[in-house]
Amino acid sequence: MLNSADAAFIADLKTLLPDAAFRDSAAYVTEPRGRWQGKGVVVAPSSTDEVAAVVRACAAARVGIVPYSGGTGLVGGQLLEEGPTPVVLSLERMNALRAVHPAENVMVVDAGMILADVHQAAKSVDRMFPLSLASEGSARIGGLLATNAGGVNVLRYGNARAQCLGLEVVTADGTVWHGLSRLRKDNTGYDLRDLMIGAEGTLGIITAAALRLVPQPAHTGAAMLAVPSPQAALDLLSVAQAHLGDAISAFELMHRQGLDFLAETDLPFKAPFAETPDWMVLIDIGTFGTTDPQAALLALFEEAAERGLTTDGVIAQSEAQRADLWAIRETIPEANRRIGSVSSHDISVPLSAVPEFITKGGPLLAEIAEFRINCFGHLGDGNLHYNVFPAPGKTRADYEHLRKDVKRAVHDLTHSLGGSVSAEHGVGRLKVADLETYGDPVKLAMMSAIKKALDPQGIMNPGAVLRSVG
């Protein structure tokens, strides 16, 4: 079997792509938390035809292909540590805006287009692409769709899957599926779009997407409310939905540990309260017509206070104040990175089980060792980022021997409550064993059958999502 270190194979690639397509691998073989170190010959095609040519060459030589988007993934899906050296296929040069159809609320983009640029392009035609997450300045559309990314607006707009109408995909034999449909209704057989979204590049390489746009809300507002407990936060969500309905874009739960980490790592933020409460909720809304978001949030706060669901609150009176509140939430991941987690978890449980998970999680981990827990996330859709950190004065290296125990405890609890051990970050290579442990065996068998049918040589992102065989 050839690998990408073979001179003949490299020479073959160089006949297919210009010199500008080849990259130094150093910037592409590490992940944001430094836990993974990959390898590969890095190429950056500039068109779908070039991607197809690379895939055909890899298929002929049985060389693995690792699709690379923004490199922001946290489960190792963009890195291959073991086995033959792969081709790392970066989408960075495929970043064009292909077409905008404002009347249809549709935009067609190359898969390498950065999310922030998509947002700006939508805004230029008075529309919004609602997928929103902290890495929007580097995350690319192809990777976001390949992992079915979530983010802060899932409550109102859904995951990435719900925001995509059609795809263009290069398959494992180098042929191109032209599926860039702009249709809302199309019942002509299997939904290949949904099959490719969330497949993490294991079935094909997304090269372009038709994205669903929405009208920009006429008015926006945000509030940070102190809540006495996660149960109160969940009850507050019900009250907020009764008051505001679909106007709620995001409903984020935060623990004071996140703000303590911001202070500890000297990251700038404006403290919303004179004394930080143990639990807070960040609510963001977008309204149309003459509805005043500040007045609506004030009415919500007053009713919540009467019910004992909130003890204090800050309602943004300007877009700048709204941005300050969001800056707290969006900077917490950077504070986490600087502290260095023992083990990070992207889990989801049924909404009603969120308080039970949080109540049981702390004591379970305390049986293992002393930790600090930063629990925050998208309460509106049951997705928590439950991250475990060293006690004061220690580093994550002091706990390396306990990482597996910590992860097992968190994931066992999640599974016992009917949850998922991968809510929005994907499976990658980090959670392949978890999928085998907690996944339904029939589902895994069906996934393996699909993989074998669409990628019989196993060259598409080998070892991601499903364990490599043979």
CATH number at residue 333: 3.30.70.2190
Q: Are strands 371-378 and 383-390 parallel, antiparallel or unpaired?
A: antiparallel
Q: Which domain holds residue 293?
A: 219-416
The domain boundary residue, chosen from 372, 394, 416: 416
Classify residue 230 as left (phi > 0), alpha (psi -120 to 50) or beta. alpha
Spatial CA neighbour of 42 closest among 77, 79, 96: 79
pLDDT by residue (tens digit) across 372-417? 999 999 999 999 999 999 999 999 999 999 999 999 999 999 999 9
Q: Are residues 322 and 197 in the same domain?
A: no
Q: How far apart are CA 98 and CA 210, in angstroms?
A: 9
Spatial CA neighbour of 234 closest among 254, 247, 248, 253: 253
Q: Are residues 310 and 387 in the same domain?
A: yes
The pLDDT assigned to 193 comes to 96
Q: Are residues 263 and 138 in the same domain?
A: no
Q: Are residues 353 and 381 in the same domain?
A: yes
**Global confidence as pTM:** 0.91
Please say if the pLDDT value at position 4 is more than 80: no
C-beta separation of 205 from 51 below 8 A: yes
The pLDDT assigned to 3 comes to 44
pLDDT by residue (tens digit) across 176-202? 999 999 999 999 999 999 999 999 999
Percent above pLDDT 70 for the chain:
98
Q: Are residues 327 and 394 in the same domain?
A: yes
Please say if the pLDDT value at position 369 is more than 90: yes
Q: Are residues 314 and 368 in the same domain?
A: yes
DSSP state of 460: B
Give the list of residues 6+ apart from residue 75 with CB closer than 8 angstroms, or none.
422, 425, 426, 427, 428, 429, 430, 431
The pLDDT assigned to 386 comes to 97
Please say if the pLDDT value at position 35 is more than 80: no
> Residue 377 domain-assigned?
yes
The domain boundary residue, chosen from 416, 445, 464: 416
Across the range 426-445, mean pLDDT stands at 93
Range in 26-30, 94-98, 233-237, 299-303 with the lowest mean pLDDT: 26-30
Q: Are residues 290 and 187 in the same domain?
A: no
- The distance in angstroms from the start CA to the end CA of the chain is 12
> Residue 371 domain-assigned?
yes
The dihedral over CA atoms of 176, 177, 182, 183, expressed in degrees to the nearest 10, equals 170
pLDDT by residue (tens digit) across 54-93? 999 999 999 999 999 988 787 887 888 888 889 999 999 9
Q: Are residues 195 and 224 in the same domain?
A: no
The pLDDT assigned to 355 comes to 97
Q: How far apart are CA 248 and CA 240, in angstroms?
A: 8
Percent above pLDDT 90 for the chain:
84
> Residue 147 domain-assigned?
yes
pLDDT by residue (tens digit) across 161-174? 999 999 999 999 99
H helix or E strand, kind and range, residue 13: helix 7-16
Give the list of residues 6+ apart from residue 189 with CB closer than 8 angstroms, or none.
none
Q: How far apart are CA 9 and CA 318, in angstroms?
A: 58
Helix ranges, 62-207 (H): 115-123, 141-146, 154-157, 192-196
Please say if the pLDDT value at position 345 is more than 90: yes
Q: Are residues 246 and 385 in the same domain?
A: yes
> Residue 201 domain-assigned?
yes
Please say if the pLDDT value at position 1 is more than 90: no
Half-sphere exposure of 6 (CA within 13 A, CB side): 15
The pLDDT assigned to 151 comes to 87
The pLDDT assigned to 135 comes to 86
Q: Please give the full DSSP string across 293-328, using - where no structure is assigned.
A: HHHHHHHHHHHHHHTTS-SEEEE--SHHHHHHHHHH
pLDDT by residue (tens digit) across 284-317? 999 998 889 999 999 999 999 999 999 999 999 9
- Show contacts of 311-317: CB within 8 Å, 24+ apart: 311/226, 311/227, 311/228, 311/277, 312/225, 312/226, 312/273, 312/277, 313/223, 313/224, 313/225, 313/226, 314/223, 314/224, 314/225, 314/272, 314/273, 315/221, 315/222, 315/223, 316/221, 316/222, 316/223
> Residue 433 domain-assigned?
no
Q: Are residues 202 and 347 in the same domain?
A: no
The domain boundary residue, chosen from 165, 196, 215: 215
- Count structural domains, the chain: 2
Q: How far apart are CA 76 and CA 61, in angstroms?
A: 24
The pLDDT assigned to 56 comes to 96
- Please give the mean pLDDT across all residues of the chain: 93
Q: Are residues 197 and 310 in the same domain?
A: no
Q: Are strands 41-43 and 371-378 parallel, antiparallel or unpaired?
A: unpaired
> Residue 400 domain-assigned?
yes
Q: How far apart are CA 133 and CA 115, in angstroms?
A: 9
The pLDDT assigned to 470 comes to 57
Please say if the pLDDT value at position 443 is more than 70: yes
> Residue 1 domain-assigned?
no
The pLDDT assigned to 430 comes to 87
Sole residue written with tokens 């983010």: 151
The pLDDT assigned to 80 comes to 82
The pLDDT assigned to 5 comes to 54
Across the range 347-360, mean pLDDT stands at 97
| Helix/strand/coil for 1 | coil
C-beta separation of 85 from 4 below 8 A: yes
DSSP state of 375: E
The pLDDT assigned to 9 comes to 86
pLDDT by residue (tens digit) across 265-286? 999 999 999 999 999 999 999 9
The pLDDT assigned to 6 comes to 66
Q: Are residues 118 and 243 in the same domain?
A: no
C-beta separation of 185 from 277 below 8 A: no
CATH number at residue 179: 3.30.465.10
Cα–Cα distances in Å, from 206 out to 98, 120, 194, 220, 432?
Answer: 15, 22, 12, 33, 22
Orientation of helix 403-416 relative to helix 354-366, angle to 10°: 150
| Helix/strand/coil for 398 | helix
Q: How far apart are CA 309 and CA 216, in angstroms?
A: 31
The pLDDT assigned to 36 comes to 74
| β-sheet with 371-378: strand ranges across | 312-315, 219-227, 279-287, 248-255, 371-378, 383-390, 346-348
> Residue 67 domain-assigned?
no
